Each structure stands twice: as C-alpha cells, then as structure tokens.
C-alpha cells in the first residue's frame, strides 16, 4: 500500500510513503541476516542436535550467521568477484583465529566449513534468479 502526499498542484513536492516497506540500509539488512542466521542456527543445533558445549554451538552459529550477512552485503555488482572471495577468506581467517583463541584449532575448523558452505549456497541460489542476486 503506497500513500502519495503532495502539497498543492506541484508534482515536485510529492512524497511517496510505503506503509509496509521499511527502509533499511544495506548494512542494516546484512546485520539482520547475521542476527537471524545466528539465532536460527543456534536454536536448531540446541534443540534438535546434541550439544555438549553451548559456547561451541554459539560459535558455530556465529559462523553461520556471518556467512549469510557477509554474502548478502557483498551481493552487489559494484564489488568484483575477486574482492568477494578475498573478503570471505578474511572473515574465515578471523573465525579460525578467534576459534583457536577460545577453543582449539580442531574445533575452529568446522566454522570454516559452515561459513564456506553457506556463502557458496547463497550465490548458487542467487545464480538461479534472472537478476543473479537475492537482493532484487
């Protein structure tokens, strides 16, 4: 539903306001993807899979959410494929470094697998669309 407000007869002062479409910046949408991806992943792992270490499950959920958030944020034609891959490797390195500090290297490696699978899945799903993007 779109409401058009105008002052007088001039069309230059017309304001379009959509009630159902909230305006978010790309970064805010990426953060929403990150938060939702993290929450959904954690809840699924917590309630449906055996979780001995809650902290480790939360770390894996952060890797999952980060993959969705970064993939959404980088889903623009302005960023080249080389930059997208480079930034994804930087995020994976950060995940491994943080996971190694908090846990052990053996426990940090699955976060890379989760991140890379979700990151690739995002772009595979996007490739089936005519726009080659999930944003549009």
Tell me how crowded residue 120 is: count the other CB atoms within 10 A of its CB.
13
| Nearest-angstrom CA–CA distance, 120 and 113 | 11
Residue 77 lies in a domain: yes
Residue 93 lies in a domain: yes
pLDDT at 126: 83
Residue 135 lies in a domain: no
Residue numbers of the domain that contains 46: 24-127
Residue 30 lies in a domain: yes
pLDDT along the chain (136 residues), means of 10: 48 49 76 94 88 89 94 87 90 95 93 90 84 74
**pTM for the predicted model, two decimal places:** 0.76
pLDDT at 15: 52
> Measuring CA to CA, which residue among 83, 89, 88, 69 is closest to residue 134?
69
Number of structural domains the chain divides into: 1
Tokens of 7: 């002052």
């Amino acid at each position: 539903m779109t409401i058009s407000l105008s002052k007088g007869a001039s069309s230059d002062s017309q304001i379009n306001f959509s009630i159902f479409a909230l305006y978010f910046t790309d970064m805010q949408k990426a953060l929403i993807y990150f938060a939702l991806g993290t929450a959904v992943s954690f809840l699924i792992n917590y309630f449906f899979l055996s979780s001995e270490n809650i902290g480790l499950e939360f770390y894996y959920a952060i890797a999952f959410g980060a993959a969705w958030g970064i993939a959404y944020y980088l889903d623009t034609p302005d960023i080249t494929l080389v930059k997208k891959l480079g930034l994804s490797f930087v995020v994976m390195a950060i995940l491994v470094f943080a996971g190694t500090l908090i846990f052990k290297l053996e426990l940090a490696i699955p976060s890379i697998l989760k991140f890379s699978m979700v990151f690739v899945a995002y772009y595979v799903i996007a490739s089936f669309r005519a726009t080659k993007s999930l944003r549009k």
